[in-house]
Structure 1
Amino acid sequence: MNGLRAVVFDTDGVLLATADRHAAAWQETFDGCLPAWPPPHAGVRPRPFDPVRDYRDLVDGRSRLDGVRAFLTARHIDLPPGTPEDPPGCATVHAVAARKEEVFTAMLRTEGVRAFDDVRPALRELRERTIRCAAVSASRHARSLLESADLIGCFDALVDGRDAAALALPGKPDPALFLEAAGRLGVTPAHTAVVEDALAGVEAGRRGRFRLVVGLDREDDPRTGDALRAHGAQLVLPGLGGLPAALEGGRRP
Structure 2
Amino acid sequence: MVTKAARLCHRGSDGEEGPAVDFSTGSRTTRRQHVVRISFSTLLRVTDDDRYVLFDSPKRPGAYGPPGGVVKFHPPAVRLLESWGFRPDRATAGAEKMRSDLRGMLPVRSLRRFQAWFATGAYRETAEECLRRELWEELAEVGLSALRPHTRRLSFISVRTVLEGPSSVPGKDFLQLRRFDIHDVAMVTSDAVRLRRELVESGYDAERSGVICANYDDIAHGRLNRALIAPHSALLAGEARLAADLPPVR
Instruction: State whether TM-score is above 0.5.
Output: no
Question: Whose strand proportion is higher, 1 or 2?
Answer: 2
Return the TM-score normalized by structure 2.
0.30
Give the number of the structure with larger relative contact order, counting CA–CA contacts within 8 Å between residues 6 or more apart. 2
Normalised TM-score (structure 1): 0.30
Larger helix percent: 1
Structure of greater Rg? 2
